[in-house]
Chain A
């Protein structure tokens, strides 16, 4: 990881990897969508709505995965002062928020035909909603300071505080849910997973993950270029 602290070396690596990753992502997502929509069977209980699972579950997984990435980058920034860590955290946050919002929207669309309401306070949806608030807090804090470095360091600390709290929040919400959940409401369930459903799910999850990693490399590269542009402009005005 520290080998890539040098932006130049990082850029050379991404230039080699990006085209391949992009193709792999498109392939994985394409196959995943195809399997999800055309090949996988409808569920015995939930009918065709079970196809929503192939979007909802990977989106929820990514919401957590991206947060873990941000927490790792935050630790890198604060403990080892890794120069690219701040950029990784900054460009990942909107992606994570997007996945979280997608998980919530698809969860809502899945719940309406199943339970008759657009929102249900079940454990998973509630935890994902709180995760969205954590993401929004990160993005807001990042942008709340005149000095962008201060914003990034503050957001990094918040990400770590949030990471410590996430298991506690999840535990609390799960416990709260068992207390209040009426017995008739079944869990917005991944049904007893059969291989004809497991493979599309895993491929979609892999596709989403590859997508995130590809876009992450692309966006970090973009930020490094932006920093170079700023530096060149400053040098130009200093000369004139």
Chain B
């Protein structure tokens, strides 16, 4: 357990030292969200209607940007080999890294979500649902993304390959994340969608841990 916490803590420390990068991802999130009114026109009813979709797509892109950070730096300076040989099981390492990634890359997006909701004039009732949806959806994004990052470690053109692999797998989170906010906009209960998002998060964590460790072994052997 202490090894697990130490790895998560170390990743968080590294993320904090490189906090400029994390802020870059947030800036990218806001920028993408700002592009659409420029492209589609500022009519408020249209913007409110498309806000949930744009918010989530922008969040997916922002998460994608931050994914190679999970394993790449460690691979380059050799600490990944050390982690592989360490007594702590590789699965625990992967889980710790997923947790650290979510805390350092996912949470900032959650915090920024309301800002974008402001730009798109979402009604006040949608804000809590927005936060809940992002909070419940982003862990699955980190988990599945970590598997993709491990699979493409050392690949040629890994940077462009990773989104191609991971985006189709993100589609369920996208669909239900948007649906939750849409439901609240229509005055319906978002509970079923939020529960599904929670289920995705809970299911993806153990699966991503196993798959990510297997992928890392392929990269390191």
Contacts and interface: CB of A to CB of B under 8 A. Distances in A.
Per the CB under 8 Å rule, do A and B touch in the complex?
A: yes
Interface in B139-165: 147, 151-152, 154-158, 161, 164-165
A172 B218 contact: no
Contacts of A153: 218
A133 B170 CA distance: 12
Contacts of B125: none
Given A145-B156, A169-B169, 12 more contacts: A78-B214, A130-B171, A136-B164, A144-B161, A153-B218, A154-B152, A154-B155, A157-B211, A161-B207, A168-B172, A172-B171, A173-B171
B203 to A, nearest CB: 9
Contact of A144 (B147, B157, B169, B211): B157
Contact of A161 (B152, B167, B211, B219): B211
A137 B168 contact: yes
A136 B157 CA distance: 15
A162 B200 CA distance: 15
Contact of A176 (B156, B158, B175, B215): B175
Contacts of B155: 141, 144-145, 154
B175 A137 contact: no
Q: Which 8 A-B pairs have the closest CB atoms?
A: A144-B155, A172-B172, A172-B175, A137-B165, A133-B168, A176-B175, A153-B218, A168-B172
A154 B154 CA distance: 11
Interface string A198-210: 0000000000000
A154 B175 contact: no
B218 A173 contact: no
A225 interface: no
Interface of A: 78, 130, 133-134, 136-137, 140-141, 144-146, 150, 153-154, 157-158, 160-162, 164-165, 168-169, 171-173, 175-176, 179
A106 B26 CA distance: 42
Q: Tell me the dominant secondary structure on chain A's binding face.
A: helix
B175 A158 contact: no
Contacts of B169: 161-162, 165, 169
B176 interface: yes
A172 B168 contact: no
B80 interface: no
Contacts of A179: 179
Interface in B42-61: none
A151 to B, nearest CB: 8
A39 B165 CA distance: 44
Nearest to B172: A172
B175 A173 contact: yes
A37 B214 CA distance: 49
Contact of B154 (A133, A145, A165, A175): A145
Contacts of A158: 151, 165
Contacts of A154: 151-152, 155, 215, 218
26 contacts: A130-B168, A133-B167, A134-B168, A136-B164, A140-B161, A141-B155, A141-B161, A144-B156, A144-B157, A150-B218, A153-B218, A154-B218, A157-B151, A157-B211, A157-B218, A160-B211, A161-B147, A161-B169, A162-B169, A165-B168, A165-B169, A165-B172, A169-B172, A171-B172, A173-B171, A175-B175
